[in-house]
Chains A and B, each alone.
Chain A
Amino acid sequence: MSPMLTINNLSVSVEGKPILNGLTLEVGAGEVHAIMGPNGSGKSTLAHVLAGRPGYEVTSGSVTYEGRDLLAMAPQERAREGVFLGFQYPVEIPGVNNVYLLKAAVNAARKQRSLAEVDAFDFLGLVRDKMRLMHMEDSFLSRGVNEGFSGGEKKRNEILQMLVLEPKLAILDETDSGLDIDALKVVAAGVNSLRAPQRSFVLVTHYQRLLEYVVPDFVHVLVRGRIARSGDKSLAVELERRGYDWVSGEAA
Chain B
Amino acid sequence: MSETAKQLEALIARGYRHGFVTDIDADTVAPGLDEDVVRLISKKKGEPAFLTEWRLRALRHWLTMKEPHWAHLRVAPIDYQAISYYSAPKAKKGGPKSLADVDPKLLETYEKLGVPLHERARLAGVAVDAVFDSVSVATTFKERLSAAGVVFCPFSEAVRSHPELIEQYLGSVVPYSDNFFATLNSAVFSDGSFVYVPKGVRCPMELSTYFRINAMNTGQFERTLIIADAGASVSYLEGCSAPQRDENQLHAAVVELIALEDAYIKYSTVQNWYPGDVNGVGGIYNFVTKRGECRGRNSHISWTQVETGSAITWKYPSCVLRGAGSIGEFYSVATVNNHQQADTGTKMIHIGRDTRSTIISKGISAGRGQNTYRGLVKILPSAQSARNFTQCDSLLMGGECGAHTFPYVEVKNPSATVEHEASTSKISDDQLFYLLARGIAEEDAVNMIVSGFCKSVFKELPMEFAVEAQKLLAVSLEGAVG
Which residues of A come within 8 Å of B, CB atoms? 51-55, 74-76, 78-80, 84-85, 87, 90-91, 93-96, 100-101, 104-105, 108-109, 112, 144-145, 161, 165
* B451 near A95: Cβ-Cβ < 8 Å: yes
Given A76-B440, A80-B439, A91-B428: A96 in contact with B449 (beta carbons within 8 A)? yes
Contact of A101 among B433, B448, B456 (CB under 8 A): B448
Known: A55-B3, A76-B442, A145-B452. 19 other contacts (CB 8 A): A52-B437, A53-B433, A54-B4, A74-B436, A76-B437, A76-B439, A79-B437, A85-B437, A93-B431, A93-B435, A93-B449, A94-B452, A94-B455, A95-B456, A96-B448, A96-B449, A101-B440, A104-B440, A105-B440
Query: How many residue pairs bridge A and B at CB < 8 Å?
Result: 80
Query: What total of chain B residues lie within 8 Å of the partner, measured CB to CB?
Result: 26
B64 at the interface (CB under 8 A from A): no
Chain A residue at minimal CB-CB distance from B434 = A91
The answer to whether A101 and B438 have CB atoms under 8 Å apart is: yes
Contact residues in B for A112 (Cβ distance below 8 Å)? 439
Least CB distance from B287 to A in Å reads: 31
A104 B448 Cβ-Cβ under 8 A: yes
- Our pick among A54, A95, A105 for the contact of B433 (Cβ within 8 Å) is A54
Instruction: State the main secondary structure of chain B at its contact with A.
Output: helix
Give me 13 A-to-B residue pairs in the complex whose CB atoms sit less than 8 angstroms apart, sorted by A's number: A51-B437, A54-B429, A55-B3, A74-B436, A79-B437, A91-B428, A93-B449, A95-B452, A95-B455, A105-B440, A108-B438, A144-B452, A165-B438
Expressed in whole angstroms, the minimum distance between the Cβ of B405 and any Cβ of chain A is 19
How many angstroms from the CA of A75 to the CA of B4 in the assembled complex? Answer: 10
B332 → chain A closest CB, angstroms: 16
Whether the Cβ atoms of B453 and A95 lie closer than 8 Å is yes
Q: B430 interface residue, CB < 8 Å from A?
A: yes
| CB–CB A54/B452 < 8 A | no
Give the residue name and chain of the B residue nearest to A85 (CB): B437
A93 touches B439 (CB 8 A): no
Q: Which residues of B contact A105 (CB under 8 A)?
A: 438-440
In angstroms, how far is the closest chain A Cβ from the Cβ of B321? Answer: 29
Q: Point out the residues of chain B lying under 8 angstroms from A54, CB to CB.
A: 2-4, 429, 433
Q: In whole Å, how far is A68's beta carbon from the nearest beta carbon of chain B?
A: 16
| B444: Cβ under 8 A from any A Cβ | yes
Q: Report whether A161 and B449 are in contact in the complex, using a CB–CB cutoff of 8 Å.
A: no
Q: Is B454 an interface residue (CB 8 A)?
A: yes
The answer on a CB contact under 8 Å between A91 and B430 is yes
Within 8 A of A (CB), among B1-39: 2-4
